């Protein structure tokens, strides 16, 4: 056993982190032997091995636990619609079908959420396990299961029965190809039975990936400490309420609740000294590096967000509401979502479900979709539900309000495949666990900035501000407060949504939706549209504005223990405009709404564009809504291009790209040569403007915040940000930086694509590559080719409506994207459309592994039929599940 209670050196191999996910696999020569044997055995044997785990989708199967017969009707893309006579049988069948299609994915997810990846993948999974165990996701999930309503718990248990019915009598090679390959590497493994806790723990991962502004809080702290508060504000501009309308434009708090007809009430402001201490900044940088090693199961970064909107019948060609949604999440294979329909043959209190939409494999019910009465869509609200507290720790005690209090301690033992068990002691203050205790596992690249004089710069700023009270005594320690670490019954909300039939029951259902906070748009068959904000948002003390790490030793920085009441969260039903558009922008103007939600909204470029397109057409159709989802007009292109056109470049080779911009319409379609050149210029502008002064941990990613930052700088041609501080003999201006960026971009386009601008295209740079998070990151080319798929040339970009985001720090490939698209017209539910980023199947080489991706990349959608008659007509395979087994 390795004891990690005291600091110890970390092997370089353990600290290393893959660009997307940790490399969870340690490969031996046995895998190479397997591949040779497969080749020798011949194609027939290989095909049999691959197909062995594919699901049976036709005929009849006897399943233990069922009370009656269940029909599973799949269309030509394998999407299942399940028909049963009881909630128990419906949820059991969903568990069975999910396991058929994606059990390996489900199993990896539950290992990730339990901090047990190392059991499967060796010490390459340790980095993730350490953080998850420190946060205690599994422990919180176990407590949440005990809080659930009996009906929710019964559904979770029935779902688990279905998963376990699938596992019963199957070898791992009959479950997935991945298990077969892992077995060759020496893994002796049989999956444990599924439980309700396994499903609920997945909601912790969802909450973590959509947790709000934790990265912004760290980045703002580092920027403030290194540059000073005024220059840090340049990099974190306030939301432009006058230019980009918030979601809710009416109402306020009356008698403790939100009233959409109230005039509203202003909010006070908060101020506090910055924590400009060098050791604190170094600890924050290390914590950021540690957290970056945790796999984002939904994705992370600026591209994480979503579009959702709904319009009333006055704006549609049918006279009925139309609702659209496309969540922007990380790209993976298989994708985050799996489509499903859940239908009770006869609706009753014992079987109240008639719903279809997008679900998470491993979780019962439908997360986003519609039932026979209502439709709903989600975007991330992004409330500030995390705070970092800088603690004054000495030994095993921490300071609070002038007292020395004992740290709480618990021990976690992590089993490591082919290695010694690892034991850690998790220490916590009343604010939360000390993430800084994991700093020894930080990727050293995350703190390289100390070699560039970062800490000297921090010390200078601290001295200038005389911020002595902000300096922690003892060892610098960083604790995390997060609302998701308090058990709450979010799972109740998901199934209640599936059963809701009108605005009242919809509003009530979402009252249990604690984390992550969401914007939820609504439409119903009676013609109503609406919006509801959800989530548990903490109320902070007067010394904590949520924007920077708080001084944990001060009582006035604490969370008060109160939360913003659900009934006080913004909502609106049937607004006069007939349009509700959410794209992660501000929810409501703080001059009319006092409770603090966050200051780190998306800057509103997508929402402004969506609102303009919706308001311009009073005969919106399903097809027109789908076209809006594909809109790829670039706001930063529109702002920056006029300045680029004013730059004098050498005639000929270097001016060729500029000539493309003269006729550019700011659209970033995959074929656009101008878009390709512009985005390379944009990346160069960011690097040449900010890389000289910003530490590597807060370099620009090119998203919406940087749109706002650069747009504000452009009219100020002599602003200090344009100057490259590394050149002693020259003071650069905007013109210098733009010229250098355009010249460098021309050279890069020649190297990347062609010397001939007519052969350039944005899609050739901006490719979608789908990678399996486990074997697809093995480092073995042949294995990776078995599980990964790629080469889709797509349009769009970061902070565009068609949000195929890329990270300017890494390159031009798609990093996050619309994980699905759906459009629902409430007058005819059989006319709805949907598409998934990947296929329904998690089995490599299965026909439905990526069969929707080609359509998705072309901007196409699939028919989404709902009525039983239409489902039966579209059915390709029918599997009958009968009691027994």
Q: What is the pLDDT of residues 208-230, one digit of tens each?
A: 888 778 888 989 998 988 898 99
What's the rounded Cα separation, in Å, for the pair 228 and 719? 16
Map residue 511 onto helix, strand or coil. helix
> What is the average per-residue pLDDT within 669-694?
97
For 183-337, strand residue ranges (E) read 252-254, 257-259, 305-311, 322-330
Lowest-confidence segment of 279-288, 322-331, 840-849 by average pLDDT:
279-288
Average pLDDT over residues 742-756: 98
Tokens of 788: 């990964």
Alpha carbon dihedral 374, 96, 783, 24, in 10-degree steps, equals 80
Average pLDDT (751-758) is 97
Residue 737 in contact with residue 645, Cβ under 8 Å? no
Least confident of 591-595, 798-802, 827-831: 591-595
pLDDT > 60? residue 292: yes
How far is residue 414's CA from residue 469's CA, in Å, rounded to a whole number? 39
Give the closest residue to 531 by CA, choosing from 495, 585, 491, 569: 569
Q: What is the pLDDT of residue 461?
A: 46
- Pinpoint the alpha helices (H) of 794-883: 853-857, 868-874
Q: Is-contact 597 381, C-beta < 8 A?
A: yes
Rounded to whole angstroms, the Cα distance separating 706 from 721 reads 13
Distance (Å, whole) CA 846 – CA 840:
10
pLDDT of 314 > 50? The answer is yes
- Which tokens in the block code for residue 73? 């009707």
Lowest mean pLDDT among 35-49, 206-220, 647-661: 35-49
- Preceding omega of 865 cis (within 30 degrees of 0): no
pLDDT of residue 867: 98
Query: Given this model, what pLDDT does residue 296 score?
Result: 57
What's the rounded mean pLDDT across residues 401-413? 96
Q: How far apart are CA 594 and CA 258, in angstroms?
A: 11
Check residue 185 and give its pLDDT. 84
Q: How many CA atoms lie within 13 A of 873 on its CB side?
A: 9
CA atoms within 13 A on the CB side of 465: 24
Q: Which of 681, 665, 657 is nearest to 632 (CA)?
A: 665
Give me the helix-helix angle, 454-465 and 214-227, nearest 10°: 80
Q: What pLDDT is stored for residue 305 in this prediction?
A: 81
Q: For 370-394, how does the pLDDT look when each residue is reduced to its tens digit (9 = 90+)?
A: 999 999 999 999 999 999 999 999 9
DSSP class of residue 509 equals: H
pLDDT category, 686, cuts 50, 70, 90? Answer: very high
Give the model's pLDDT for residue 313: 97
Q: What is the mean pLDDT of the chain?
A: 89
By the 8 A CB rule, do 2 and 412 touch?
no
Task: Report the pLDDT value the prediction gives residue 212, as an integer from 0 to 100.
Answer: 73
Q: What is the pLDDT of residue 270?
A: 33
| Contact yes or no for 116/377 (Cβ under 8 A) | no
The average pLDDT across 92-115 equals 97
Domain boundaries, the chain: 635-666+673-760
437 contacts 391 by C-beta, under 8 angstroms? no
Percent of the chain scoring above 90 in pLDDT: 76
Q: Between 133 and 439, whose confidence is greater?
A: 133
**Contact status, residue 350 vs residue 803, Cβ threshold 8 Å:** no
Question: Over 90: is that where the pLDDT of 3 sits?
Answer: no
**CA 233 to chain CA centroid, nearest Å:** 26
Region 349-364: what's the mean pLDDT?
97
The CA distances from residue 397 to 404, 411, 477, 507, in Å, are 6, 17, 11, 45
User: What digits encode the pLDDT tens for the residues 435-469?
Assistant: 999 876 654 333 333 334 444 544 544 454 444 44
From residue 257, alpha-carbon distances to 275, 561, 567, 599, 704 in Å are: 36, 19, 5, 21, 32
- Residue 306 to residues 175, 321, 563, 604: CA-CA distances in angstroms? 33, 20, 25, 12
* 188 touches 172 (CB < 8 A): no
pLDDT score at 882? 98
Structure pTM?
0.92
pLDDT at 11 over 60: no
For position 346, what pLDDT does the model report? 96
Residue 814: the pLDDT is 96
Is the pLDDT at 240 greater than 60? The verdict is yes
Give the model's pLDDT for residue 208. 86
Q: Which residues contact 450 (CB under 8 A, 6 or more apart)?
A: 282
What is the DSSP-derived secondary structure letter of residue 49? H
Region of poorest pLDDT, from 185-189, 503-507, 628-632: 185-189
Give the other-Cβ count within 10 Å of 236's Cβ. 17
Task: Give percent of the chain with pLDDT exceeding 70.
Answer: 87
CA distance 219 to 600: 12
Whole-number pLDDT of residue 303: 52
Strands 403-406 and 386-394, sheet pairing: unpaired
What DSSP assignment string belongs to 560-572? Answer: EEEE--GGGS-EE
Between the CA of residue 745 and those of 654, 687, 691, 738, 742, what are the distances in Å? 9, 12, 17, 10, 5
| Region 805-827 average pLDDT | 96
Give yes or no for residue 471 having a pLDDT over 60. Answer: no
Give CA torsion, residues 663, 666, 670, 674, to 10 deg: 40
pLDDT at residue 39 tops 60:
no
Contacts of 17 (CB under 8 A, 6+ apart): 127, 292, 293, 443
Predicted pLDDT at 697? 83
Tokens of residue 581, six digits: 């558009």
Calpha distance 159→145 (Å, rounded): 14
| Architecture category of domain 635-666+673-760 in CATH | Orthogonal Bundle (1.10)
In this structure, what are the phi and psi dihedrals at residue 560, rounded to the nearest 5 degrees? -80, -15
Residue 19's pLDDT is what? 34
């Amino acid at each position: 056993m390795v004891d990690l209670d005291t600091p110890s050196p970390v092997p370089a191999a353990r600290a290393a982190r893959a660009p997307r996910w940790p490399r969870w696999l340690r490969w031996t020569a046995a895998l190479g032997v397997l591949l040779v044997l497969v080749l020798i055995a011949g194609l027939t044997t290989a095909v049999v091995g691959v197909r062995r785990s594919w699901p049976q989708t036709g005929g009849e199967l006897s399943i233990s636990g069922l009370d009656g017969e269940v029909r599973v009707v799949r269309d030509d893309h394998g999407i299942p619609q399940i028909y049963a006579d009881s909630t128990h049988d419906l949820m059991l069948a969903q568990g069975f079908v999910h396991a058929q299609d994606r059990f390996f994915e489900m199993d990896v997810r539950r290992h990730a959420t339990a901090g047990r990846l190392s059991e499967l993948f060796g010490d390459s999974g340790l980095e993730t396990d350490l953080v998850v165990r420190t946060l205690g996701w599994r422990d919180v999930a176990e407590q949440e299961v005990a809080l659930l309503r009996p009906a929710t718990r019964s559904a979770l248990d029935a779902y688990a029965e279905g998963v376990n019915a699938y596992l019963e009598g199957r070898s791992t090679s009959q479950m997935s190809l991945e298990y077969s390959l892992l077995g060759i590497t020496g893994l002796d493994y049989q999956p444990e039975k599924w439980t309700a806790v396994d499903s609920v723990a997945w909601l912790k991962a969802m909450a973590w990936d959509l947790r709000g502004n934790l990265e912004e809080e760290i980045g703002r702290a580092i920027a403030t400490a290194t540059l000073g508060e005024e220059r840090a504000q340049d990099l974190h501009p306030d939301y432009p309420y006058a230019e980009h309308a918030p979601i809710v434009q009416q109402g306020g708090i009356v008698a403790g609740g939100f009233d959409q007809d109230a005039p509203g009430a202003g909010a006070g402001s908060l101020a506090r000294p910055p924590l400009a201490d060098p050791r604190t900044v170094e600890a924050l940088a290390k914590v950021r590096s540690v957290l970056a090693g945790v796999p984002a199961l939904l994705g992370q970064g600026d591209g994480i967000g979503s579009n959702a909107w709904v319009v009333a019948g006055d704006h549609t060609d049918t006279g009925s509401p139309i609702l659209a949604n496309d969540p922007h999440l990380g790209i993976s294979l298989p994708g985050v979502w799996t489509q499903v329909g859940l239908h009770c043959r006869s609706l009753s209190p014992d079987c109240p479900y008639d719903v279809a939409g997008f679900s998470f494999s491993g979780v019962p019910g439908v997360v986003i979709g519609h039932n026979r009465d209502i439709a709903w869509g989600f975007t991330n609200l992004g409330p500030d539900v995390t705070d970092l507290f800088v603690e004054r720790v000495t030994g095993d005690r921490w300071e609070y309000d002038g007292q020395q209090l004992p740290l709480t301690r618990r021990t976690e033992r992590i089993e490591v495949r082919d290695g010694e068990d690892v034991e850690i002691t998790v220490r916590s203050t009343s604010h939360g666990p000390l993430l800084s205790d994991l700093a020894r596992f930080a990727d050293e690249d995350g703190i390289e900035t100390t070699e560039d004089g970062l800490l000297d710069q921090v010390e200078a700023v601290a001295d200038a501000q005389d911020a002595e009270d902000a300096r922690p005594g003892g060892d610098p320690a960083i604790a995390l407060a997060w609302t998701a670490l308090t058990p709450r019954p979010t799972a109740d909300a998901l199934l209640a949504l599936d059963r809701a039939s009108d605005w009242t029951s919809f509003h009530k259902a979402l009252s249990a939706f604690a984390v992550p906070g969401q914007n939820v748009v609504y439409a119903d068959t009676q013609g109503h549209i609406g919006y509801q904000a959800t989530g548990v948002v903490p109320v902070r003390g007067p010394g904590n504005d949520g924007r920077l790490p708080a001084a944990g030793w001060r009582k006035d920085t604490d969370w008060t223990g109160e939360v913003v009441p659900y009934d006080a969260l913004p909502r609106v039903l049937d607004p006069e405009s007939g349009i509700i558009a959410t794209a992660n922008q501000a929810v409501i103007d703080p001059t009319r709404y006092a409770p603090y939600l966050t200051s780190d909204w998306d800057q509103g470029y997508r929402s402004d564009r969506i609102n303009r397109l919706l308001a311009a057409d009073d005969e919106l159709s399903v097809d027109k809504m789908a076209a809006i989802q594909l809109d790829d007009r670039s706001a930063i292109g529109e702002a920056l291009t006029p300045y680029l056109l004013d730059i004098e470049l050498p005639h000929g080779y270097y001016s060729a790209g500029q000539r493309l911009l003269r006729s550019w319409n700011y659209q970033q379609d995959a074929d656009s040569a101008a878009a390709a050149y512009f985005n390379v210029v944009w990346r160069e502008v960011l690097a040449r403007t900010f890389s000289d002064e910003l530490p590597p941990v807060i370099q620009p990613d090119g998203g919406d915040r940087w749109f706002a930052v650069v747009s504000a700088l452009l009219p100020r041609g002599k602003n200090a940000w344009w100057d490259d501080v590394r050149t002693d003999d020259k003071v650069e201006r905007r013109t210098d930086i733009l010229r250098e960026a355009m010249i460098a971009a021309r050279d890069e386009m020649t190297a990347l694509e062609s010397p001939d601008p007519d052969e350039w295209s944005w899609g050739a740079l901006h490719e979608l590559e789908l990678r399996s998070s486990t074997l697809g990151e093995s480092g073995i080319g042949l294995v990776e080719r078995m599980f990964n798929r790629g080469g889709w040339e797509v349009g769009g970009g970061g902070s565009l409506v068609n949000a195929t985001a890329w990270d300017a720090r890494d390159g031009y490939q798609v990093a996050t994207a619309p994980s699905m698209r759906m459009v629902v017209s409430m007058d005819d539910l059989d006319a709805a459309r949907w598409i998934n980023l990947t296929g329904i199947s998690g089995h490599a080489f299965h026909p439905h592994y990526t069969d929707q991706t080609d359509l998705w990349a072309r901007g196409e959608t699939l028919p989404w039929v709902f009525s039983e008659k239409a489902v039966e007509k579209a059915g390709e395979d029918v599997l009958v599940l009968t009691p027994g087994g």
